[in-house]
Structure 1
Amino acid sequence: MTVVANDPAGESHPLLDGPIARKLVWLALPGLAGGLMQSFLYVADGRFVGTLGPLALAGVALVFPLFALSVMLSAGAVGGAVVAATARALGARDHAGAAALVRTAMVLALIGGGLSALLVHLFGPAFFRLLGGEGMVLDTAVAYAGVLFPGIVVVWFFNMLASLLRGAGDMRRPAVGLGIAAIMHILSASVLVSGSGPVASLGITGAALSLLIGYAAGSLYLAWRLFGAAGPDWVRLGGAVDWGQVLRVGRRGSFAGVQSVLTVAIALVVTAFMARIGPEALAGYGIGVRLELVIIPVIFAFGSACIAMAGVSLGAGERVRALRVAWTGSGFAAGFVGLIGCFLAFFPALWSGLFTANTEIAAATAHYLRIVGPAYAFFGLGLCLYFASQALNTLVWPVTGAGVRLAILLGGGFLLLGDGMDAGTVFLLVAGAMTAYGLFNALTLRFGPWRR
């Protein structure tokens, strides 16, 4: 569903009218398609890495949470702040403010991508060692990150461009961009990772490079749709940068980013636990947790629809409608990803078989999915409430909820694991922390800032 943000004065914004559930579904459907494309991209990446052997899978498992963090920061945190600001500006018919957001988004992409690359360059190898990486696993992680993160700004540009479109209610073009990224990733990986001849020697380097090629292709498409002749009339790339706006949006995005940092910190804590159990356990967990990171774009499909609709409603002064949008979209997200988690808990081989034929790794993945899969409903609920809170400026409680989730894992690990570390206990902690996160966000928002 595409909403053209050039309404004549006196004409209602399209997102302010009609049944909420139906409009949310229509807005979310293209995002779901895009989320599935992004998930497909991650699955394909894991499959190509899996052809290089279990040590390659284990090495990439150390790096993948950092890559996912960059995606979550650029799409869900800073990107979500751009979506919310754009939606509020267009809901209030402030096209000049929306135009300034185009330049703000580009500046934020440069800052975010540059900082991500610098931090991984300076601290990446020491960080991978801290997680338990050693020998060939550590070498693989360093080689993969050494190619992926110098080009991570491409991922930031892609998500900033997509966020501007989503803020205008256009969910279809970002989905197409993700489809282009996935297709180009697969085509390039089939040559750089699995091809024959001189390029076959690229191995793990080729896997990282193919991800960047995919996102670069998607970025070119989105730039054409935004800045081309047929782009929205409020888009203006030329002009002065509003540094005050950069600071405001960046500050909101940075605070929202605490949630993303905590989410990845959770994955890293469990990665460190599993690395001490053994490489097969680590690789199996890496495949299992990849599902959690893969369904985040699916949750974001409903979350971005909530941000756009709730942001427009809030900009137009309709707070009650904005709250109804937030609860409805979060319920959809919880149900959708809960079904995915429960299905794969019963049929874990459908997931692990995409990445490996190693029976020990597959068994570790199955163990993870059977325990954690049903808790995905609470993860979807909590995370979508976080996205909706970006539009409603109520991020304190969802960010605190992510902190509660991390505290449960750390506290439980300290009290229960010790030297006799057991994968089943780790996975029970993961599921319990996920459930607490969803319930905490729902209860604190319902009886706190979202009271009517």
Structure 2
Amino acid sequence: MMVGIVSLMLFNLADIYFVSQLGTEPMAALAFTFPVTFSVISLAIGFGIGTSAILAKLIGAGRQSEAALLATDNLMMTLILVLVVSIIAHWFMPPLFRLMGASEALQVYILEYMEVWWFGAVFVVANMVANSSLRSRGDTKTPAMIMAASSALNVMLDPLLIFGWGPVPAMGIRGAALASVISWVCVFFCVTHILYHRYQLLVFVRLNVARVLRHWLQVMKIGLPAALSNMLTPLAGGILTALVAQHGAEAVAAFGVGNRLESLSLLACLALSMTLPPFVSQNYGAGQISRVEAAYKGAVKFALVWQFCVFLLLLLLSGWLAGLFADSEAVRQPLLLWLTIVPLGFGMQAVIFLSASTLNALHQPIRAMRISILRLFVFFIPMAWVANYFGGLQAMFISFVVANTLTSVIAFLWVKKAIAKKAI
């Protein structure tokens, strides 16, 4: 799982590294796109959670033919839904980014990137659902290998398409989006080939609307609350970006780098949050609640210790990292500030998404969604606004740590209560 997630993160890091060579404005433009692109990723994660939960249960029960029908119908509906969403969303880009605080100059770069990116959005979500189908079959290595190969392809295509070489023209920020889209298309054909030929989880059958809708509703019963929960993060991210934008394009550029580094810093715990749910679900189904409790508490302890070590490492390397990603002192200073404060709350942030994953695995997706609402709209945004108003950027970054800490305590108590009820 870590290999797969690293590959996904390398997409973002490669894009922002090569785009940073174009200057501060393209770099800031890429930061503005993050809440929008991450909202699509969040939708994909939610669909993947629902797919994996339902498919794994069918496969575990030996109902292979029913699992193949569900996987086929689910992938088809995903492709149709995201295609429609992409077409509609494309027309709302200019007003959305104006609302987020992007200047007219930055919007030129933003729209260049997003006009290409939306063509690949359907493959982003479809790939997540297809890979979740593989994992429900017990195969985590194949999707990791495919994602690693596609990430390597993206890293090679980025400089070629951004800066140009020989007959290939320099496309600038548009080239970064095109490199990602090409990589996603290659992943889609690889993973669907494996689902069809190796595991027979894709089948050619006569279309039955009632069956397709029944399968879709089964998946969405778990997947929709998970998707909505994940989509709250980029929504809040857009609001936070608007707050940061009050300090200038340089601060937004630094904040964008910080968001990418945050994902990489939480890598081990993200992988753990994706492997914990099937373990919890299987033991919950078998009545082994004591193992559920031991797994959850063990994961929480690991997350707190591991992320504190990551914080110390980032603190030691903060000067070098700020110099690596910042092309000017105006970007370096806010990035350095982020690196020395925000990672202190990563351990508590890991506890939050481990708790949400556990609640989803215990078939309590609504309560998992409440954790996200509590974190982002009760603590995070109100505290960030107040801190920014009275204390500026540094106070806002400190408020991130406080918000994560308060939410993690509540989330831990909710999971503990849920496990205790299942044990009765």
TM-score (norm 1): 0.86
1:345, distance to aligned residue in structure 2 (A): 2.9
Partner of 1:382: 352
Match of 2:381 among 395, 398, 410: 410
Q: Distance in 1 between matches of 2:175 and 2:286?
A: 48
1:399 aligned to 2:369? yes
Residues 1:45 and 2:15 aligned together: yes
SS of the counterpart of 1:393? coil
* CA offsets 1:372-427 (integer angstroms, 9 cap, x no match): 10111111111122223222112233321211222223322454434x66111111
Which of 84, 90, 94 matches 1:125? 94
Q: Report the counterpart of residue 258 of structure 1 in structure 2.
A: 228
Q: 1-side partners of 2:420 and 2:181: how far apart?
A: 40
Does 2:338 match 1:368? yes
Counterpart code for 1:435? T
The answer to whether structure 1 residue 232 and structure 2 residue 215 are counterparts is no
- 8 Å contact 1:287–1:352 — kept in the other structure? no
Check whether the contact 2:289–2:419 (CA below 8 A) recurs between aligned residues: no
**Aligned residues of 1:32 and 1:301 also touching (Cα < 8 A):** yes
1:165–1:171 CA contact under 8 A, matched in 2: yes
C-alpha distance after superposition, 1:93-130 (max 9, x if no partner): 33233222311331342144224413431222111111
Decide whether the 8 Å contact of 1:338 with 1:380 is kept in 2.
Answer: no
Select the structure that is richer in helix: 2
Match of 2:150 in 1: 181
Any conservation in 1 of the 2:254–2:326 contact (CA below 8 Å)?
Answer: no
Length, aligned pairs only: 417
C-alpha distance in structure 2 between counterparts of 1:415 and 1:356, whole Å? 28
- Compute the TM-score of the two structures, normalised by the length of structure 2: 0.91
Residues 253 and 34 of structure 1: CA distance in aligned 2, closer, same or farther (over 3 Å): same
Structure 1 counterpart of 2:67, from 98, 106, 125: 98
Give 2:133's aligned residue: 164
Please list every run of 5 or more consecutive structure 2 residues that lacks an aligned counterpart in the other structure. Answer: none
1:352 alignment partner, one of 305, 310, 322? 322
Write the distance in 2 (CA, Å) between the matches of 1:429 and 1:258: 24
> Structure 1: where are the runs of 5+ without partners?
1-30
Equivalent position of 2:78 in the other structure: 109
Q: Structure 1: how far apart are the matches of 2:406 and 2:89?
A: 31
Higher mean displacement: 319-328 or 366-375: 319-328
> Counterpart in 2 of 1:22?
none
In the alignment, which residue of structure 1 is the partner of 2:172?
A: 203
Segments ≥4 residues shifted beyond 6 Å: none
Q: Distance in 2 between matches of 1:315 and 1:91?
A: 11
Deviation for aligned residue 1:437: 2.6
The sequence identity of aligned pairs, in percent, is 23
In structure 2, the CA distance between the partners of 1:187 and 1:421, relative to structure 1 (3 Å rule), is same
1:427 aligns with 2:393: no
Q: CA deviation at 1:90?
A: 2.4
Tell me the alpha carbon deviations over residues 54-94 of structure 1, each in whole angstroms, 9 at most, x when there is no partner. 100101111122212212221x2111111111222223333
Partner AA of 1:254 in structure 2: L
Q: How does 1:129-140 map to 2 (within 5 A)?
A: 129-140=98-109
CA contact (8 A) 2:150 2:186 kept: yes
- 2:36 matches 1:66: yes
Q: Distance in 1 between matches of 2:169 and 2:323?
A: 24
Deviations 1:428-450 (A, max 9, x none): 12222222232221111112355
Shift of the alpha carbon at 1:332? 3.7
CA contact (8 A) 2:24 2:250 kept: yes
Q: Is the 8 A contact 1:382 1:398 kept in 2?
A: no
Amino acid at match of 1:410: I
Matches within 5 A, 1:250-329: 250-295=220-265, 298-329=268-299
Distance 2:287 2:73 in 1: 25
How far has the Cα of 1:179 moved from its partner?
Answer: 0.2
**Structure 1 residue matching 2:92: 3-state secondary structure:** helix
Instruction: Give the Cα–Cα distance (whole angstroms) in 2 for the partners of residues 308 and 179 of structure 1.
Output: 23
**Which amino acid in 2 is paired with 1:177?**
I
Deviations 1:324-367 (A, max 9, x none): 43443454444444432332133223433443332221221111
TM-superposed CA distance for 1:214, in Å, is 1.6
- Equivalent-residue separation in structure 2 for 1:221 and 1:360 (angstroms): 43
- Secondary structure at 1:199 match in 2: coil
- Contact 2:383–2:403 (CA<8 Å) still a contact in 1? no
- CA deviation map 1:117-163 (0-9, x unaligned): 13431222111111110122121112111110122111112111110
